[in-house]
Amino acid sequence: MVVAGLWAGACGGEAETTAGGDRATSRAKRTPTEEQTPKTKPSPSIDFGHGTAVLHGASDVRVELEVARTAEQRAFGLMLREELAPEAGMVFVFPGATSGGFYMKDTLIPLSIAFFDDKGEILKILDMVPCKREPCKIYYPDAIYTRALEVNKAAFDRWEVTTGDSIELDL
């Protein structure tokens, strides 16, 4: 999640800073509120955009997306979600190239993440596991990317999508 400055859809703990973009860069401490409904929206104040992606691997796969464009959206990502539909994900869109990592603090479900460039080429795919307390592992792609797509863990394997394949976005 982030993308979520540690981009990986989880916030929590003290602010952290790493090389790269927002969430991959810094994460503010957050406390859940009664109004939050983790299964659908992690926060009533964060309204994610929507779109679709077509992943071009062994075959084409259509994925329904939530879109995280702002620093706040990227920082919160998929944290506090209890589930994610099988053909759904969250795309993190950065204002420029970054190499920042993602982490899974306060993220409840295991995820896979594909880091890709502005042409849609997948540069790296990683599996990420939830983290209940600091210190949490930071997942770095060891590549410069402009977007990242988080989906349920092992979905890329199930879809036969791998490094070098492409992602076409309709945002």
Give the model's pLDDT for residue 163: 99
**Residue 159: its H or E element:** helix 155-159
Asked whether 112 and 150 are in contact (CB, 8 A), the reply is yes
Q: In this structure, which amino acid lies at residue 45?
A: S
pLDDT value, residue 113? 99
More confident residue, 28 or 103: 103
Please write the tens of the pLDDT for every residue from 37-93. Answer: 334 444 556 899 999 999 999 999 999 999 999 999 999 999 999 999 999 999 999
What's the token pair of residue 123? 């540069």
> For tokens 């992606």, what's the residue?
53
- pLDDT above 70 as % of the chain: 74
pLDDT given at position 63: 99
- Is the model's pTM score more than 0.85? no
Mean pLDDT of 4-14: 37
Q: What is the CATH number of domain 49-170?
A: 2.60.120.1140
Tokens 């800073």 -> residue:
17
Cβ neighbours of 39 (radius 10 Å):
11
Q: What is the CA radius of gyration of the chain?
A: 14
What pLDDT is attached to residue 145? 99
Sign of CA pseudo-dihedral 159, 152, 122, 117: positive
Residue 19 has pLDDT above 90, yes or no: no
Coil, strand or helix at 157: helix
| Residue 83: count of CB within 10 angstroms of its CB | 12
Side-chain half-sphere exposure of 62, counting CA atoms within 13 A: 4
Where exactly are the structural domains of the chain?
Answer: 49-170
pLDDT, mean over the chain: 82
Least confident of 17-31, 55-69, 82-96, 114-128: 17-31
Q: What is the pLDDT of residue 110?
A: 99
